[in-house]
Amino acid sequence: MPIPAPTLYPPFNIIRLSHAVFGVRDLAASRAFYVNTLGLQVTDEDDRHIFLRAMEERGHHSLVLVKSDESNIRALCFKVYDEGELDKAEAWFKAQGHRTDWVERPYQGRTLRTHDCFGMPIELYFQMDRLPPIHQHYALYHGVKPLRIDHFNCFATDVDKAVAFYGQMGFRVTEYTEDEESGKLWAAWTHRKGGVHDIAFTSGTGPRLHHTAFWVPTPLNIIDLCDLMATTGYVGNIERGPGRHGISNAFFLYVLDPDGHRIEIYCSDYQTVDPDLEPIKWDLKDPQRQTLWGAPAPRSWFEHGSTFQNIMPDAAVLTASPIIAP
């Protein structure tokens, strides 16, 4: 199926992904993982919340951990260009028949909560408290040395529907996987900030969050993290990699946090700033699509995901399957 033409002048202007809000059952265990192992920086915490940022980020947080009875995802959040874009977004989502609410969020200005075409909760804001830069405070660098949040990847029941919906909001497709038999999309990578993706969609039971990715300086940081996790009780949390993706060309590692939320550590993709850049097509059965070196992903990578709070997932409409490791 042809990729829809990009909407270059969307009804409101999202500039990038911003942060995710995770429900976690044990704050202390999550803190040990994200702070002591991955190396994110705590910007505030209490007995129910931990706010975290990476080393290059000036905003107050790019990940929020909320103590919860269940492991879940509370919201995926995006930053808009200015305050007026929030009102445009509210009008657009209402016109689509979506519920909208203005919600209070710590360290943020006005925040619009709504949902996408699958019911997945998303939040939009413009203003977040700024913190002093720490990217040259090298004594703080530890773990995998995360620099910034990079993208979300979500299981979607219908990737063509996801691309059409997010395309109306100005998300442009950079690469995609097509099932040759049906002509339908199996996965798509879409962006606003000029990288390979801010949010990607993979065919599967959804909506669920497949993973959240953080950018690191070099592939060697990923090797260091593998050594660290293997010798500090987290060897079982290493799910896939290290490796190099065919799609995006990025070096990667997938790990699971104590609640099973999947985190990708990611670097070495490419810029996609030009608005007329043509997306790259991959066949679903191409073994180099998943990993340039040809190694297929484990079954868990296609089946395991984090559910959104109070959202019941549905089965995917596409039954085609990629190559799966035995």
**In a shared domain, residues 149 and 120:** no
**In a shared domain, residues 148 and 124:** no
**In a shared domain, residues 109 and 167:** no
**In a shared domain, residues 116 and 151:** no
How is residue 34 annotated by DSSP?
I
30-34 CB contacts, 8 Å cutoff, 24+ apart: 30/65, 30/257, 30/258, 30/259, 31/65, 33/234, 33/237, 33/257, 33/258, 34/63, 34/65, 34/257
Whether the pTM exceeds 0.85: the reply is: yes
CB contact set of 129 (below 8 Å; sequence gap of 6+)? 59, 60, 107, 108
DSSP secondary structure string for all residues of 228-269: HHHTTT-GGGEEEEEEE-SSS--EEEEEE-TT--EEEEEE--
The pLDDT value given to residue 230: 97
Q: Flag whether 313 is in a domain.
A: no
Query: What tokens were used for 271?
Result: 């810029």
Summarised one tens digit per residue, pLDDT across range 142-182 is: 999 999 999 999 999 999 999 999 999 999 999 999 999 99
Query: What tokens were used for 100?
Result: 């909208």
Q: Flag whether 136 is in a domain.
A: no
**In a shared domain, residues 155 and 278:** yes
Residue ranges making up the domain that contains 64: 14-130
The pLDDT value given to residue 317: 96
* Tokens 């007995």 belong to residue: 47
Q: Flag whether 320 is in a domain.
A: no
Question: Sorting pLDDT into bands at 50, 70 and 90, what band is 2?
Answer: confident
Contact present, 204 and 158 (Cβ < 8 Å): no
Helix ranges (DSSP H) in 271-322: 287-290, 299-303
Q: Flag whether 90 is in a domain.
A: yes
Bridge partners (DSSP) of residue 151 are 213
Question: Sorting pLDDT into bands at 50, 70 and 90, what band is 315?
Answer: very high
Bridge partners (DSSP) of residue 314 are 206
State the average pLDDT over residues 3-15.
Answer: 96
Q: Flag whether 315 is in a domain.
A: no
**In a shared domain, residues 170 and 81:** no
**In a shared domain, residues 52 and 182:** no
State the average pLDDT over residues 70-92.
Answer: 98
Compute the mean pLDDT over every residue in the chain, rounded to the nearest whole number. 97
The pLDDT value given to residue 326: 80
**In a shared domain, residues 155 and 68:** no
Helix ranges (DSSP H) in the chain: 27-31, 83-95, 159-168, 219-230, 287-290, 299-303
The pLDDT value given to residue 1: 62
Summarised one tens digit per residue, pLDDT across range 188-244 is: 999 999 999 999 999 999 999 999 999 999 999 999 999 999 999 999 999 999 999
| CATH label of the domain that carries residue 265 | 3.10.180.10
The C-alpha angle 167, 149, 285, rounded to 5 degrees, equals: 55
Q: Is the model's pLDDT at 78 over the cut of 70?
A: yes
Q: Flag whether 59 is in a domain.
A: yes
Q: Flag whether 288 is in a domain.
A: yes
Q: Flag whether 322 is in a domain.
A: no
**In a shared domain, residues 182 and 289:** yes
Summarised one tens digit per residue, pLDDT across range 249-275 is: 999 999 999 999 999 999 999 999 999
Residue 248, phi then psi, degrees to nearest 5: 85, -20
**In a shared domain, residues 96 and 209:** no
The total of structural domains in the chain comes to: 2
**In a shared domain, residues 296 and 188:** yes
State the average pLDDT over residues 267-289.
Answer: 94
Length of the chain: 326
**In a shared domain, residues 67 and 151:** no
